[in-house]
Structure 1
Amino acid sequence: MSLTYEDRRTTILAQLEMEGKVQVHHLAQLLSVSTETIRRDLDRLEKEGRLRKVYGGAVKMRMEHVEPPFLKRTQMMKREKSAMGKLAASLVQDGETIMLDNGTTTLEILPYLFDHANLTIITHSVPILNMAMEMFKGKIIFIGGEMNVEYRAATGSLAEQLLDHFKVNKAFITAGGISLTDGITDFHLAEAIISRKMMQRAEEAILIADHSKFGMSTFARVSKLEEISMLITDPGCPKEWIDTIEALGIEVLVSE
Structure 2
Amino acid sequence: MAGMRTDERREEIVRLAKTTGLASVEELAETFEVTASTIRRDLARLTDEGRVARTYGGAMALHAHPEPSLRQRTGEAFAEKRAMARWAAAEILSGETILLDAGTTVGALARELRDGPKLTVATTSLTALEELAGAENVHVECLGGTLRHLSQGFVGPLTEAALERMTFDRVYLGADGVTPDNGLCEADLQQTRLKELMIRRANTVYVLAHAAKLGRSPFHSWVRMPAQWTLVTDTSADPGLLAEFTARGASVVTVPPS
Q: Normalized against structure 2, the TM-score is what?
A: 0.70
The answer to whether the 8 Å contact 1:84/1:232 transfers is yes
Relative to 1, partners in 2 of residues 1:241 and 1:232: Cα closer, same or farther, differing over 3 Å? same
C-alpha distance in structure 2 between counterparts of 1:75 and 1:136, whole Å: 28
Partner of 1:105 in structure 2? 105
Q: CA deviation at 1:116?
A: 2.8
Partner of 1:58 in structure 2? none
Partner of 2:243 in structure 1? 243
C-alpha distance in structure 2 between counterparts of 1:241 and 1:63, whole Å: 26
Partner of 1:65 in structure 2? 65
Relative to 1, partners in 2 of residues 1:67 and 1:179: Cα closer, same or farther, differing over 3 Å? same
Q: Deviations over 1:59-94 (max 9, x none)?
A: xxx996122111110111111100111111111111
Q: CA deviation at 1:223?
A: 1.7
Q: Percent identity?
A: 26
C-alpha distance in structure 2 between counterparts of 1:117 and 1:83, whole Å: 19
> What amino acid maps onto 1:130 in structure 2?
E
Partner of 1:144 in structure 2? 144
Q: CA deviation at 1:180?
A: 3.2
1:33-112 matches, within 5 Å, as 65-112=65-112
| SS at structure 1 position matched to 2:199 | helix
Partner of 2:220 in structure 1? 219
| SS at structure 2 position matched to 1:76 | coil
Q: CA deviation at 1:150?
A: 3.0
C-alpha distance in structure 1 between counterparts of 2:231 and 2:123, whole Å: 20
Give the total of aligned pairs: 194
Q: Deviations over 1:180-210 (max 9, x none)?
A: 3322111222222222211110001111111
1:112-127 matches, within 5 Å, as 112-127=112-127
C-alpha distance in structure 2 between counterparts of 1:82 and 1:192, whole Å: 25
C-alpha distance in structure 2 between counterparts of 1:118 and 1:100, whole Å: 16
Q: Normalized against structure 1, the TM-score is what?
A: 0.71
The answer to whether the 8 Å contact 2:180/2:245 transfers is no
| SS at structure 2 position matched to 1:114 | helix
The answer to whether the 8 Å contact 2:93/2:117 transfers is no
Q: CA RMSD in A?
A: 1.9
| SS at structure 1 position matched to 2:134 | helix
| SS at structure 1 position matched to 2:91 | coil
> What amino acid maps onto 1:240 in structure 2?
G
The answer to whether the 8 Å contact 2:228/2:251 transfers is no
